[in-house]
Amino acid sequence: MNFQFTQTDFFVLRPAILLCLFGCGILITDFFIEARQKFFNALTALIGRGFTGYALWQQQSYLKANGLPELVGLSGAITIDGFGIFFNWIFLIATALAIIISTRYLEIEQEHHGEYYALLLFAQTGMVFLATATELVTLFIGLELMALSFYVMVGFLRGDKRSNEAAVKYLLLGAFSSGMLVYGFSIFYGIANSTKLADIAQAISSRDPKDPMVFLALATTAVGLLFKIAAAPFHMWAPDAYEGAPTTITAYLSVASKAASFAFLLRIFQSPLASVRPTWEPLLGAVALLTMTLGNLAAISQTNIKRLLAYSSISHAGYILLGLVSGNQTGLKGIAVYILVYTFMNFGAFTMVVAMRNQKIIGDDIDDMAGLMVKRPAYAVLMLIFLLSLAGIPPTAGFLGKYYIFLSLIQTQHYYLAVFAVLYVAVAAYYYFRIVKVMFASEAVERGEISDSAGIRVALAVSAVFTLLIGVYPEPFLEMAQRSLFASLR
Amino acid sequence: MLDTALFYIFAALTLGGGVLTITRRSAVHSAIWLITSLLGVAGLYLLQRAEFLAGVQVILYVGGIMVLFLFVIMLVNLDQAAKEKRFSGQKWIALACVAAVALQALWFVSKGAGRFTLGQPSIAGENLGNSEHVSRVLFSQYLLPFELASILLLVAIIGAVVMAKKRI
Amino acid sequence: MHPITTVHYLFLSAALLLVGTIGVLTRRNIVVILMSIELILNAVNINLIAFSRQLGNVNGQVFAIFVITDAAAEAAVGLGILIALFRNKETVNADEVDILKW
Domain spans of chain B? 1-82, 132-168
At A415, which amino acid appears? Answer: Y
Q: Say if residues A185 and A140 touch (Cβ distance below 8 Å).
A: yes
ipTM, two decimals: 0.93
Chain B residues inside the 8 Å CB shell of C80: 159-164
Domains of chain C plus CATH, in order, are 6-93 (1.10.287.3510)
Long-range contacts of B106-113 (CB under 8 A, 24+ apart): B108/A212, B108/A216, B109/C11, B111/A212, B113/C5, B113/C7
Q: Is C27 helix (H, G, I), strand (E, B) or coil?
A: strand
Average of pLDDT values for A413-439? 91
Q: What are A108-128's pLDDT values in tens digits?
A: 888 888 999 999 999 999 999
| Option in B34, B94, B116 nearest C25 (CB) | B94
Contacts of C23 (CB under 8 A, 6+ apart): B21, B22, C32, C33, C35, C36, C39
Phi, psi of A73 (to 5 degrees): -120, 165
pLDDT at residue A2, rounded to an integer: 60
**What is the CATH code for B1-82?**
1.20.120.1200
d(CA A191, CA C90): 47
- Between the alpha carbon of residue A173 and those of residues A230, A240, A257, A389, the distances in Å are 11, 11, 15, 31
Q: Which residues of A touch B115 (CB under 8 A)?
A: 211-212
Chain A residues with CB under 8 Å of C76 CB are none
Q: Tell me the C-alpha distance between A101 and A246, whole Å.
A: 12
**pLDDT in 10s for each residue of chain B, 168 residues:** 788 899 999 999 999 999 999 988 888 899 999 999 999 999 999 998 888 999 999 999 988 999 999 988 888 765 555 555 555 656 677 777 777 777 766 666 666 555 566 655 555 555 555 788 888 889 888 999 999 999 999 999 999 999 888 777
State how far Cα A273 lies from the chain centre: 22
**Do A164 and C89 lie within an 8 Å CB cutoff?**
yes
Q: In 3-state terms, what secondary structure has residue B50?
A: coil
Q: How far does C37 lie from chain B, in Å, by closest CA?
A: 11
Contacts (Cβ under 8 Å, ≥6 apart) of B98: C18, C21, C22, C25
d(CA A82, CA A86): 6
- What's the pTM? 0.93
Cross-chain Cβ contact B44/C65 below 8 Å? no
List CB contacts (< 8 A) between C30 and chain A: 168, 172
Is C37–A169 a contact, with Cβ atoms under 8 angstroms apart?
Answer: no
pLDDT digits (tens, 9 = 90+) for A324-364: 999 888 999 999 999 999 999 999 999 999 988 877 777 78
Contact A146, A126 (CB under 8 A): yes
Which of helix, strand or coil describes residue B90?
coil
* Interchain proximity B152–A190, CB inside 8 Å: no
Domain coordinates of chain A in residue numbers? 279-490
| Distance separating alpha carbons of residues B76 and C83, to the nearest angstrom | 7
- Residues A194-229: tens digit of each pLDDT: 899 999 999 998 887 777 788 888 999 999 999 999
What gap in Å lies between CA A395 and CA A469, rounded to an integer?
A: 9
Contact at CB, C35 and B69, closer than 8 angstroms = yes
